[in-house]
Amino acid sequence: MPWPTTRRVIGTKVQRLDGPDKATGRARYSFDINLPGMLHARILRCPHAHARIKNIDSGAAEKTNGFRALHIIANAGVQLFFAGAEIVAVAADTEEHADDCLHAIRIDYEVLPHFVKEADALRAPDGPSTVPGGTPNVRPGGDFSTAKFDDVAYEGTAPRVEGTYGVAIISHQCLESHGLVAQWDNDLANLTVYASTQAVPLTAQALAQNFKLPVTRVKCITNYMGGGFGSKFGPDIQGIVAAELARKARAPVKLMLDRAEEVAVGGQRPSAAGTVRIAGTKEGDIRAYEVDCYGSPGVGGGATVNLGFLPYVYSVPNIKRRHRFVRLNLQTGRAMRAPGHPQNCLLTDQAVDDLAASLGLNPIILRTRNLPQNDQNAVQNDPTSFPALRHTIYTRQLEIIRKLCSWDDRWHPPGRGDGVIKTGLGMALHTWGGGGGPPNPTRVTVSSDGSVLVQSSTQDLGTACRTVPAIITADILGLRPQDITVQIGDSTFGPSTPSGGSTTCPGISPAILKAAEAARDALFAAIAPGLNAQAADLSIDTGHVINRANNNARIPWRNACGRLGMNTAIGNGDWPTNAQFQQNPDLRREWRGRLTNNGVGGVQVAEVKVDTETGVVRCTRFWAVQDCGLIINKLACESQVAGGVIMGVNYALFEECIYDRVTGRMLNPDMEFYKLGGIRDMPDIMVHMMDMPERGVIGIGEPPTISTAAAVGNAVFNAIGVRVPQAPFTPERVLAALANGRKRN
Amino acid sequence: MKNFTYFRPTTAEQAVALLENRWGNTELLAGGTDLHDLQKEYVAQPSRVVSVTGIGALAGIRVDEKQATIGAGTKLAAIAEHADLRRHFPSLCEAASDIGGPQIRNMGTLGGNLCQRNRCWYFRDEHTPCLLKGGQRCYALDGENKYHAIFTQGRQCVIVNPSTLAPALIALGAGVNILGPKGRRSTDLAKFFFSPANANDREHTLAANEMVLEVTIPVRNWANASYEVRQKLSYDWPLVQAAVAFQGGRNGAKATGVRIVLGHVAPTPHIAEAAMKALEGRDITDANATAAGRAAAEGAKPLSQNAYKIRLVEVAVKRALLMAAGMKRYWEM
């Protein structure tokens, strides 16, 4: 059965159930868990960007006040590849004593050469290697060319435009840092952790594996979670270490990273930079896109640097791509809110505006002409999928945003305008997947007092996912969301998919629907005989069960449930397995074409004001048009889009990890010089959600942050008439671009 | 954090008696927004901490016809909100209201703002042995220095003084009253700051066993203003600050007694003598303010990444002068 066609609660604006708890501080995050007798653990980290441990002397630590347990993570002889790499962990009675213990440990290092800046590594292609295995720092990331690019790409085009675009390495900066509280039972047979994680069951599994325990003996709880953005998919080293120390000390241990650790090792997004050549006909058909690009995954292999879908979104017939990974002595890059997409968007959409300027075209016209066509094969076989609809969706979105932001009145040719403060308007497009999948078993229990409980092991990262089960169940049972009790974030409720790739809402929603329907049907089956009816005679209206067999008698919900007596009505729901999907195409069409879907598009417009005397940029207004299929909670959807825009404005204007070439250390692992805008630095954000219920539920977590920075970059270009190549667009970079512009003229 | 003995005297004399004649082992604590950070990072490791929060007489604002007196223990928020101060010294109150966020302003004090340590990221990193921590070199000189000094002549350490109250107060001709073991002394705030070069130096000229009691500002109906070039509106240090004060300058009157002081461009608040001379006895016009800005930037020797601050000095001085003269703020967005 698909989604109800008449939706009482689904798609309305529902305040999140835990809003008051979060706003008042009643909500207890993993960081807030304090258990009786709990110890505090801290980790001694390598201060050098590349070093070998010669000797560890921890004797004095064990004699320090408050010391309880010590765990060596990396032994003498081990080579460490970034500042912040873990060496020794200590548990003590207070956090301060744990710090004192760390300071009593003496470690001798052999300091080795390092690279922490992309330009330095690129200048030394023949080494020395400063990364594991002695492999080259700079590695090919996959080159690509359409046929005969050099012969045909620029045939009949207007002069090509060349530009350089880049974006710095940035930090996830989760407000709640990484870590967990670990508690063993007395005979060390059962482990419970309170973790800040995007993957509750996965974290329990990883710990079970590490400690060679049956997975049934490890429980992971995540009641509330203060942000992950792609950086929290397991216990990490600090989680395993906390459990080790708790086992050794036979006491609960809390190990949450401090702010400097959170920034230095809690995740970072790969940088990207590229030189782009783009060309089109004078009418505005883009014919060629050529790019030489690289990004740094830190010390990791490069999977997180995905520039492989350049050019982004637009349909371009001739493409040539040279792509490199620049490995540096920094923590391994982690997935971050739409991995790869913001970088691809910056390297495409800014070049598109430079082309529009060169052709003398309005960028909205250029974009309209170069949208990807609807895929005719998909139109036939998968008509609600994004490929079948992408041209239709983008075209509608461009029309909507054009009116919403008064583009035709506000937009002006680049650099036009008098005065010191210049205003500009810029646009960018994005796309994302956001399809859910199995397993997400969900249980709905109706009790005889009318109360309703929904249970799933899924986690709420701060997105309002906790409210989703209440909305869907309330809709099916004719109740209000606040009538539903939701229990999530507990690995003993069974498996669930990790919250990555914007898959949580589409992952859990259809399973909740099935469970709620099953619970309703179980209730009907249980009470129908007592009502002299068949189960099929019963139906739901707001707050009531209707009995068709008795003149459509309206039985108040609680009275109806009261007929359960000692029993409960339980409904279980979950996705079909992947094997079932393969056997049954209809099943796939229902679950992945009507109940849920994969693939969205979005268009965003930024307005900025640039102080041309100081180079200071303020983003003043912002418009976002987003599709996400069937909307479950319109308020939360709009909030997600606003949050994505805020994140994007931040990395467009402020955020940048800064490393010292000599020491190899990060200089701003903080919230002082790692700049994050406050509310006064944020634009007025107008969100327009396109409701396409026929497509089913699609995730919305990642898409709305993808095109924000490119839209801001284009707005700055529109304001001052020169391109600021590197994000964040800081005052010194804007002033330098303005000075270069004056030189050229 | 290294463990320490905590003292909470109730008079300034008792506090001074608890101090030592060398830096490092004993530290004064007021709002704690700076010292506790440094302790947690193991950059400051005092074994004795003397809190001044028990000294009631240290906080308070008095304004009469001749001068304003602000106690060293006065909270930044109280300075920002004080009606009489705001009437006479908008430069000071605006600078105070832009410091940090509400939490910082509700804890931070005037004395702490003047005596705080610098924000250089090499100095504040426990693992980087810079000059001010007894090391052999300044890492900022050829390192990451976009927020560092541009008036660097003869300086081994290229920090900027972080106080934004100091430039405003110096432009207003403020003095500072200090208590030491031998009693009280007074000095111009302009002579209070110091360019440190090693672990035994601080950013000011206080002896280790002295403390700031209060700051005095002459009330003389001078025009004054402070302008900060800020990347962010919320919670950020200025990139460059200019504070100005002068007599006249409005309604066609010439500006005299011109004082122009820059913040965040040198290890101490930087008195822009050439700019003061350039403007002395002139009208505050756009052209004259622009010329004063240029003069203020003269002599700057920027580092590898901060030449952009020269332009910001020119602009900040011009804007502060136009603000003080009550002219149109053409830069408002």
Give the C-alpha separation, A705 to A644, whole Å. 4
**What was the pLDDT predicted at A203?**
98
Q: Is A421 on the interface with B (CB under 8 A)?
A: yes
SS3 A448: coil
Give the C-alpha separation, A637 to A632, whole Å. 8
Query: Which of B121, B237, B331 has its CB closest to that of A668?
Result: B121
Contact A323, A293 (CB under 8 A): yes
Give the C-alpha separation, A702 to A500, whole Å. 9
Contact A4, A476 (CB under 8 A): yes
Q: Is the pLDDT of residue A745 over 90?
A: no
Number of neighbours of residue A125 by Cβ within 10 angstroms: 10
Predicted confidence band at B48 (pLDDT cuts at 50, 70, 90)? very high
Q: Is A681 on the interface with B (CB under 8 A)?
A: yes
H or E stretch covering A102:
helix A95-104
The mean predicted confidence, pLDDT, of chain A is: 96
Contact B110, B79 (CB under 8 A): yes
**What was the pLDDT predicted at A418?**
85
User: Domains of chain B by range and CATH?
Assistant: 223-324 (3.30.390.50)
The pLDDT of A151-165, averaged and rounded, is 97
**What was the pLDDT predicted at A303?**
72
Give the C-alpha separation, A92 to A268, whole Å. 29
> What is the least distance, in Å, from the CA of B78 to any CA of chain A?
22
> What is the least distance, in Å, from the CA of B162 to any CA of chain A?
13
Fold of A37-116: Aldehyde Oxidoreductase; domain 3 (3.90.1170)
3-state SS, one letter per residue, for B121-180 = CCCCCCCCCEHHHCCCECCCCCCCCCCCCCCCCCCCCCCCCCCCHHHHHHHCCCEEEEEE
**What was the pLDDT predicted at A68?**
98
Report residue A544: phi and psi, to 5°.
-140, 155
The pLDDT of A563-575, averaged and rounded, is 97
Q: Is the pLDDT of residue B146 over 80?
A: yes
What's the number of CA atoms in the CB half-sphere (13 Å) around residue A462?
A: 18
The residues pairing with A443 across neighbouring beta strands, listed in sequence order, are A455, A572
Q: Is the pLDDT of residue A127 over 80?
A: no
In single-letter form, the type of residue at position A215 comes to V
Q: What residue spans define the domains of chain A?
A: 19-27+436-594, 37-116, 361-435+597-744
Fold of A361-435+597-744: Aldehyde Oxidoreductase; domain 4 (3.30.365)
Under an 8 A CB cutoff, do A660 and B143 touch? Answer: yes
The pLDDT of A112-128, averaged and rounded, is 92
Of A447, A437, A490, A436, the C-alpha closest to A466 is A490
Paired sense of beta strands A272-280 and A179-184, if any = unpaired
Give the C-alpha separation, A608 to A714, whole Å. 9
Give the C-alpha separation, A176 to B119, whole Å. 25
From start to end of A328-451, where are the E strands? 421-432, 442-446
Predicted confidence band at A1 (pLDDT cuts at 50, 70, 90)? low
Contact A673, B147 (CB under 8 A): yes
Of A279, A284, A293, A282, the C-alpha closest to A149 is A279
Residues of B in contact with A661 (CB under 8 A): 143
**What was the pLDDT predicted at B324?**
97
pLDDT in tens, A595-610: 999 999 999 999 999 9
Number of neighbours of residue A155 by Cβ within 10 angstroms: 10
Q: Is the pLDDT of residue A196 over 80?
A: yes
**What was the pLDDT predicted at A278?**
98
Residues of A in contact with B315 (CB under 8 A): 613-614
pLDDT in tens, A391-400: 999 999 999 9
Residues of B in contact with A100 (CB under 8 A): 1-3
Of B229, B291, B228, the C-alpha closest to B258 is B291
> What is the least distance, in Å, from the CA of B234 to any CA of chain A?
5
Token pair recorded at residue B45: 């490791």
First to last CA, chain B: 44
Give the C-alpha separation, B94 to B99, whole Å. 9
Predicted confidence band at A384 (pLDDT cuts at 50, 70, 90)? very high
Q: DSSP H helical segments within B206-325, as ranges?
A: 273-279, 286-297, 308-324
SS3 B220: coil
Give the C-alpha separation, A534 to A524, whole Å. 8
CATH of domain A19-27+436-594: 3.30.365.10
Under an 8 A CB cutoff, do B315 and A732 touch? Answer: no
pLDDT in tens, A288-301: 999 999 999 999 98
Report residue B248: phi and psi, to 5°.
70, -140
Under an 8 A CB cutoff, do A614 and B311 touch? Answer: yes
Number of neighbours of residue A699 by Cβ within 10 angstroms: 29
pLDDT in tens, B210-267: 999 999 999 999 999 999 999 999 999 999 999 999 999 888 899 999 999 999 999 9
Q: Is the pLDDT of residue A305 over 90?
A: no
Nearest chain B Cα to A613, which residue?
B315
Q: From the CA atom positions of chain A, what is the Rg in Å?
A: 28
Of B190, B188, B208, B191, the C-alpha closest to B199 is B208
Can you state the angle between helices A200-210 and A236-249, rounded to 10 degrees? 50
Report residue A550: phi and psi, to 5°.
-130, 65
Q: From residue A619, how far is each of A6, A412, A628 by CA, in Å?
A: 40, 17, 25
Predicted confidence band at A55 (pLDDT cuts at 50, 70, 90)? very high
Give the C-alpha separation, A557 to A560, whole Å. 5
3-state SS, one letter per residue, for A273-301 = EEEEEEEECCCCCEEEEEEEEEECCCCCC
Of B29, B32, B72, the C-alpha closest to B48 is B29
Query: Which of A47, A618, A672 has its CB closest to that of B127?
Result: A47
Contact A392, A373 (CB under 8 A): no
**What was the pLDDT predicted at A126?**
80
Q: Is the peptide bond before A683 cis (omega within 30 degrees of 0)?
A: no
Measured in residues, chain B has a length of 333
Under an 8 A CB cutoff, do B331 and A673 touch? Answer: no
Q: Is A730 on the interface with B (CB under 8 A)?
A: yes
Of B280, B277, B284, B272, the C-alpha closest to B319 is B284
Residue B291 DSSP symbol: H
- Chain centroid to Cα B63, Å, comes to 21
Q: Is the pLDDT of residue A250 over 80?
A: yes
**What was the pLDDT predicted at A673?**
97
**What was the pLDDT predicted at A417?**
81
Q: Is the peptide bond before B238 cis (omega within 30 degrees of 0)?
A: no
Query: Which of A420, A620, A730 has its CB closest to that of B331?
Result: A420
Most B CBs within 10 A among A614, A650, A659, A726, hence the mutation to make, goes to A614
H or E stretch covering A704:
helix A703-706
Residue A697 DSSP symbol: B
Furthest-apart CA pair in chain B: how many Å? 61
Q: Is the pLDDT of residue A414 over 90?
A: yes
Most A CBs within 10 A among B1, B47, B232, hence the mutation to make, goes to B232
The pLDDT of A357-375, averaged and rounded, is 98
Q: Is A732 on the interface with B (CB under 8 A)?
A: yes
Q: Is the pLDDT of residue A125 over 90?
A: no
Query: Which of A47, A661, A731 has its CB closest to that of B231?
Result: A731
Contact A53, A47 (CB under 8 A): no
Query: Which of A609, A665, A731 has its CB closest to that of B125?
Result: A665
Q: Do domains A19-27+436-594 and A361-435+597-744 have the same CATH topology?
A: yes
| Residue % of chain A over a pLDDT of 90 | 96
